[in-house]
């Protein structure tokens, strides 16, 4: 009898232990700059991530487990990013991480995830090399849901050279990895059009006087200024041009949509152009719900960095889909699932239908972003045509679905949402 009770007791204890294990949350890291000049991007990304996790948890979580977000401020510093990565992997035991705003932090930090075989979903950083950093290795754990610099530079050059017919361009890029890698991609895109910039100038983070760089660009006869940097310094460029009495168009990477550029430059930001994967306009049911949820949760009208928020939100749904399909939180199994997602994932930016493969870890192709423009203190569609077709969800271009066709596709999952 005692033996029977003892066995029964062990069985109950084992069952309770199994239940407790099954109920353990799925720990996902969130790494980004939540303070400093990059914080509008970092905070918006984090808040988008939190909205997605809250929605998923309200519906029962993933694999019957809740998502637990482990947030860390990397301060936009490479060394801090490395420290955060090691802490999230070794101490917090995360099964994956979403985030990274600054390309330099990505490149310095994600190697630890690669070594640990833990997936990273880059949702804001854009340096083209990010998903190719470990292309020489058998398996790649680095994914991305933002438009890389090669895509953006192609769009910028098409806008400046092909559409607006400028032939004399100046490039002003910050000294970070983001700025300099972006400048390299920009010069390659210009070279493909037979154009060489009349001025290529560098500046540092926290510089407040861009007069020397702008004077060189002006004296070289630049017809347009193309930028690669982040908000506060971009505002100094726009303000510096006005101080010099030199008014030429300003275009640059997607960061010209940052709230601290628009606010610090004020009226001098008007008309600035940039590629955007997401513009804060409720033109689909999914986007309307997302915008309203963000505004309600964080008590804002204009999202500080709409692109960062939307891509952050989508990155969690993509990762959750991978975990669900894998039926596991094992890193290699999640990676394999992400490379062959069988079910479409409805996001804010797009509907992701097999967004990744073994050799392609980029969810965004060149047909998805549009050109945005600063107008009235916020970013709007630069072209009426894009605004009119904004409700037509642009999906990833593949060999089977050319860009022109994919741009107008409205997947069945989105039709059901209407």
214-250 pLDDT per residue, tens: 999 999 999 999 999 987 899 999 999 999 999 999 9
**pLDDT(97) > 50:** yes
HSE-CB for 347 with a 13 A CA cutoff: 37
Res. 399 pLDDT band, cuts 50 70 90: low
Residue with tokens 């600035």: 272
96-99 sheet: strands from edge to edge: 67-73, 26-32, 96-99, 120-122, 142-144
**pLDDT(409) > 50:** no
Q: pTM for this structure?
A: 0.90
Structure confidence at residue 195 (pLDDT): 97
**pLDDT(403) > 60:** no
Structure confidence at residue 230 (pLDDT): 86
The 8 Å CB, 24+ separation contacts for 59-66 are 61/26, 62/26, 62/320, 62/323, 62/324, 63/26, 63/323, 63/324, 63/327, 63/328, 63/329, 64/22, 64/23, 65/22, 65/23, 65/24, 65/25, 65/26, 66/25, 66/26
Res. 6 pLDDT band, cuts 50 70 90: low
| Mean pLDDT (whole number) for 385-406 | 76
CA 206/CA 230 separation, integer angstroms: 10
Please report, in angstroms and rounded to a whole number, the separation of the first and last CA atoms in the chain: 64
139 — phi, psi (to 5°)? Answer: -130, 145
CA 311/CA 355 separation, integer angstroms: 14
| Mean pLDDT (whole number) for 113-125 | 98
CA 275/CA 166 separation, integer angstroms: 18
Query: Are 249 and 161 spatial neighbours (Cβ–Cβ below 8 Å)?
Result: no
CB atoms within 10 A of CB 158: 15
Structure confidence at residue 310 (pLDDT): 98
Q: What does the mean pLDDT of the chain come to?
A: 92
Distance of CA 82 to the CA centre of its chain: 19
**Which alpha helices (DSSP H) does 117-203 contain, by range?**
149-157, 177-192
Structure confidence at residue 179 (pLDDT): 95
**pLDDT(9) > 60:** no
Q: Report the phi/psi class of residue 64: left, alpha or beta, with left for phi > 0 and alpha for psi in -120 to 50.
A: left
> Nearest to residue 176, comparing CAs of 81, 257, 277?
81
**pLDDT(49) > 70:** yes
How do beta strands 370-375 and 378-381 pair?
antiparallel
- Considering only 84-93, 236-245, 273-282, 392-401, which range has the smallest mean pLDDT? 392-401
| CATH number of the 26-147+282-366 domain | 3.40.50.2300
- Considering only 8-12, 65-69, 90-94, which range has the smallest mean pLDDT? 8-12
**pLDDT(294) > 70:** yes
The tokens describing 232, both together, are 């506060």
* Neighbouring residues of 164: CB distance < 8 A, sequence distance ≥ 6: 224, 249
Res. 398 pLDDT band, cuts 50 70 90: confident
| Mean pLDDT (whole number) for 33-43 | 94
Query: Are 247 and 349 spatial neighbours (Cβ–Cβ below 8 Å)?
Result: no
Query: Are 351 and 393 spatial neighbours (Cβ–Cβ below 8 Å)?
Result: yes
CA 364/CA 369 separation, integer angstroms: 8
Q: Which of 2-16, 129-143, 394-408 has the highest mean pLDDT?
A: 129-143
Structure confidence at residue 106 (pLDDT): 97
Structure confidence at residue 37 (pLDDT): 87
CA 336/CA 355 separation, integer angstroms: 13
Query: Are 254 and 227 spatial neighbours (Cβ–Cβ below 8 Å)?
Result: no
Kindly report, residue by residue over 163-177, the tens digit of the pLDDT: 999 999 999 999 999
Structure confidence at residue 22 (pLDDT): 53
Kindly report, residue by residue over 321-340, the tens digit of the pLDDT: 999 999 999 999 999 999 99
Distance of CA 322 to the CA centre of its chain: 18
Structure confidence at residue 257 (pLDDT): 96
| Mean pLDDT (whole number) for 271-298 | 98
Q: Positive or negative, the Cα torsion across 267, 272, 277, 282?
A: positive
Same fold, 26-147+282-366 and 150-276: yes
Give me the residue spans of the domains in the chain.
26-147+282-366, 150-276
Residue 68's beta-bridge partner residues?
27
CATH 3.40.640.10 for domain 150-276, yes or no, is no
Give the CA distances from residue 408 to residues 350, 392, 411, in Å, rounded to whole numbers and listed in that order: 11, 6, 10
Residue with tokens 């700025």: 179
């Amino acid at each position: 009898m005692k033996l029977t009770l003892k066995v029964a007791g062990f069985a109950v204890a084992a069952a309770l232990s199994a239940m407790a294990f099954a109920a353990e949350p799925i720990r996902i890291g969130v790494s980004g700059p939540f303070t400093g000049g990059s914080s509008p991007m970092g905070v918006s990304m984090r808040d988008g991530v939190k909205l997605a996790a809250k929605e998923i948890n309200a519906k029962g979580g993933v694999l019957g487990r809740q998502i637990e977000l482990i947030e860390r401020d990397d301060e936009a510093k490479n060394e801090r990013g490395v420290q955060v990565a090691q802490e999230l992997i070794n101490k917090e035991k995360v099964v994956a991480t979403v985030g990274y705003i600054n390309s330099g932090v990505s490149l310095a930090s994600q190697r630890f995830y690669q070594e640990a075989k833990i997936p990273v979903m880059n949702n804001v950083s854009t340096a083209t090399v990010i998903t190719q950093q470990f292309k020489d290795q058998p398996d790649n754990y680095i994914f991305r849901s933002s438009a890389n610099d090669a895509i953006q530079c192609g769009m910028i050059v098409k806008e400046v050279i092909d559409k607006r017919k400028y032939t004399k361009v100046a490039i002003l890029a910050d000294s970070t990895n983001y700025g300099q890698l972006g400048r390299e991609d920009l010069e390659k895109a210009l070279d493909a059009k037979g154009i060489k910039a009349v001025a290529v100038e560098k500046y540092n983070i926290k510089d407040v006087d861009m007069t020397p760089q702008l004077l060189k660009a002006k004296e070289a006869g630049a017809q347009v200024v193309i930028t690669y940097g982040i908000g506060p310094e971009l505002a100094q460029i726009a303000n510096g041009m006005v101080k010099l009495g030199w008014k030429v168009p300003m275009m640059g990477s997607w960061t010209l949509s940052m709230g601290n550029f628009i606010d610090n430059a004020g009226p001098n930001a008007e008309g600035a152009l940039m590629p955007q994967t997401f513009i804060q306009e409720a033109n689909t049911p999914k986007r309307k719900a997302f915008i309203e949820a963000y505004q309600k949760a964080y008590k804002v009208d204009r999202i500080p960095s709409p692109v960062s928020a939307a891509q952050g939100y989508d990155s969690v749904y993509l990762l959750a889909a991978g975990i669900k399909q894998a039926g596991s939180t094992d890193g290699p199994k999640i990676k394999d699932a992400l490379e062959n997602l069988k079910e479409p994932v409805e996001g804010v930016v797009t509907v992701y239908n097999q967004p990744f493969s073994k050799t392609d870890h980029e969810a965004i192709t060149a047909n998805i972003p549009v050109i945005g423009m600063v107008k009235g203190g916020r970013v709007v569609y630069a072209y009426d045509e894009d605004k009119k077709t904004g409700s037509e969800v642009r999906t990833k271009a593949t060999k089977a679905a050319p860009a022109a066709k994919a741009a107008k596709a409205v997947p069945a999952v989105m039709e059901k949402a209407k």
